[in-house]
Structure 1
Amino acid sequence: MKNRAIILSILGFFFFGVLIACSDESDNISDNNQESSEVIKPTISCTDPIEVSAAEGAETITVTYDAPTALLNNEPIATTQITGLSSGSEFPIGVTKNTFSATDGEGNTVTCSFTVTVNATVISEPSDEQPYAFQNGVKAPEGKKWVKVEELSDEFNGAEFDDNKWHRNPASDGFSWYGRPPALFEAENVSVSNGCMNVTTLKYAEPKEFRDITWTHGGAIVRSKAQAGYGKYYECRMKANKTIMSSTFWIAMKQNCNNEEKRKLELDIQECVGRVHEGTHTWAQHWDKIFHSNAIRHYRDCDTEEDQETRASGVKNLDESNHDRFFVYGCWWKSPTEILFYLDGEYVYSITPTTDFDIDGYITMAIETYDWNPVDEAGSIFETGSFDDLTTKYDWVRTWELTDE
């Protein structure tokens, strides 16, 4: 019995060892099979996003970058660019997405992408060779170029106001509008000096009686003698006065009930005031720091009951007051149904009018009072302000039209 027990014990030990060994061998075979079935794919790595600025007035800039790296088993393989522009190309203003791919011999493909952002550099001083916005990268239509319309443009560099181009007397401009009380439009408040047209506001020492209305303040209105129409680009460089009165640049249409075309339209390119206060209507509390435009279809007595006053507007609130510096306000009256607006050479917004804006008008610059921003008792600037404080200044007005190249 003793010998039998010893034999069984030896057999059991041998069998157990075999079981353990089989178990270990089985695990090793499984791992080896798993490793041998794993697919090795290529990898690819792109550069970080690139952001650059074009030269002043340029539409493109040369950009170089490191080509992406693709590896297979730590060995480099070829890459192919499938979108964007190659290193060393002229990149346009805006964002260009560059995508690269790599494919191994088994058909496994990987891709990566990065962007190149080219920012336009705003020209510090607009030239008089083309509209400011088009100097900053906006392109004219194919085969066209901008040519200045001299009769609707003025650099105001002379010593005297050009009465051949502009009306400054409301009695002669064909509108016969003398202002919105209490500010009276008077030609004597318009002058030219130091390269600017100046429209100066004032408070009268004694109220004036004119057309059975009492006027306490003075402003002015200037209108072009030549007509302005769609298809042209209009711009001015203007610095607002610091009073409650307005500073404006717009196009007024002369249509009224006596004309065959009775629609009364108004295209406001810029309308702001120099100062707001507690008495200013709530909706106008930002009008001293604003770029604001309108396309208005006015209601007239001769309109039908179905006709209503309608308007489409664009607004951009500013961080600066309109009297802090000169701003360039621009408008491309592109067609009767599309009007684009620009601030300091950059596109801001578009307006789609509620009716076709297909009627010619007159460039207008009116410095006036509003009942929604009334003269207030605290507004002592009329007594204490300097000439610059009280004056809306126009460095220049320029109008452009497209012609064939």
Structure 2
Amino acid sequence: MRFSTFKFQVIILLLGLAHGQLYAQPTPPEGKKWIIEKSLSDEFNGSFDTNKWSKSTWNYKNTPCEMVTQNAGVSDGNMWIKATLSEKDSLWFKTARVQSKSKISFPMYTECRIKAANISAYTTYWLNNGNANSRDEIDICENNPKPSIAAQTKIRPYTLYSQYFIVKNGVTERNHSEEQKRRPDTRNLSDKNPAKGKKWNEDYQVLGCYWKDSKNVQFYINGEPAGSTNSKQDFSLDLNIIWDLWTGPFDYLGGLAIKEDLKNSQWNTMYVDWIHTYKLENIKN
């Protein structure tokens, strides 16, 4: 029986290596183990699972974005969100948002295999619950591989904007200045990391978030630690998992998308191959 188990583990290891990448959750605390949270995990091998995910049509303010349900779906083993050009003068960036129906709190770990759209827009993967005046938010992935602001083309395509917000009664706490300076850059990753030196639209990467406790969050790129945060206030809300694709006339986004780029079906879509989310459970015996 032990030999059979060993053989099985070897087979799994070889399959992972053959696939080109091998991922593991962070080491759980002593006496704990990770178990899958099925309501927040999906291989996206079938159709869009309406038991797990919904399509939100809430729009960002002061942007040309219009969230529509038809611009997100599941096909060919991926959940996708695409941006298309609308004939509307003010809301010409037609896009979508996918949000979990379940919520989760710390301690937890979530990771997804994601590829950015090749347009000047934020491809996102984040956790949120609340509104502008009262919310907790953890941004795992905000990246723009093709900024329309020329001065940002040498930095932003390689940078992952991972951060947090705690907003109570309209007062915002976000990353400390030193944490902001340590944003992960793919060019600074270890040589063994598949994302080393790549722009976010070039290939799929596994981005992860270990929400350890009420104040600490650790981020990962393909299993490699890639930035962390430590808040002053406590995170106090259960959060939804969200993906969306959006643009706006702001420096912090990299600039507005180019309208012609939205007509290119090879560029205008972000993809999520899978998402795995875990929670901790006591080890028995």
Which residue does the alignment assign to 2:204? 326
Match of 1:133 in 2: 24
Q: Contact conserved, 2:119 with 2:257, CA < 8 A, in 1?
A: no
What is the letter of the counterpart of residue 207 of structure 1? K
CA contact (8 A) 1:279 1:376 kept: no
Number of matched pairs: 253
- Mapping of residues 3-402 of structure 1, within 5 Å: 124-126=20-22, 132-134=23-25, 138-158=26-46, 160-170=47-57, 177-180=58-61, 181-204=63-86, 206-207=87-88, 214-254=90-130, 263-278=134-149, 286-298=155-167, 302-303=169-170, 307-312=171-176, 313=180, 314-318=182-186, 319-372=197-250, 373-375=254-256, 380-383=260-263, 385=264, 387-402=265-280
Check conservation: 1:184, 1:218, Cα contact below 8 A. Answer: yes
Which runs of structure 1 show a deviation greater than 4 angstroms over 4 or more consecutive aligned residues?
Answer: 55-58
The match for 1:18 is: none
The whole-number CA distance in structure 2 between the counterparts of 1:397 and 1:295 is 20
**TM-score w.r.t. length of structure 1:** 0.57
TM-score by length of 2: 0.80
Aligned equivalent of 1:403, options 273, 281, 285: 281
8 Å CA contact 1:189–1:219 kept in 2: the answer is yes
Partner of 1:381, secondary structure, is: helix
Larger Rg computed on CA atoms: 1
The answer to whether the Cα contact below 8 Å between 1:147 and 1:401 also exists between their aligned partners in 2 is yes
Aligned-residue sequence identity (percent) comes to: 26
Q: Unpaired runs of 5+ in structure 2?
A: 1-9, 187-196
Q: Structure 1, residues 179-216: CA drift from partner, whole Å, max 9, x if none?
A: 34202111100011111001011112x116xxxxx201
The one-letter code sitting in structure 2 at the alignment partner of 1:188 is Q
The structural deviation recorded for 1:272 is 0.5
CA distance in 1, matches of 2:141, 2:43: 19
Encode CA deviations 1:97-155: one digit per residue, 9 max, x unaligned: xxxxxxxxxxxxxxxxxxxxxxxx998344xxxxx333xxx522222211100001111
Q: Distance in 2 between matches of 1:278 and 1:246?
A: 14
CA distance in 1, matches of 2:99, 2:115: 18
SS in 2 for 1:188: helix
Cα RMSD between the aligned structures?
2.6
**1:255 CA drift (Å):** 5.3
Distance 1:345 1:310, change over 3 A: closer
Q: Which runs of 5+ in 1 are unaligned?
A: 1-54, 59-120, 127-131, 171-176, 209-213, 258-262
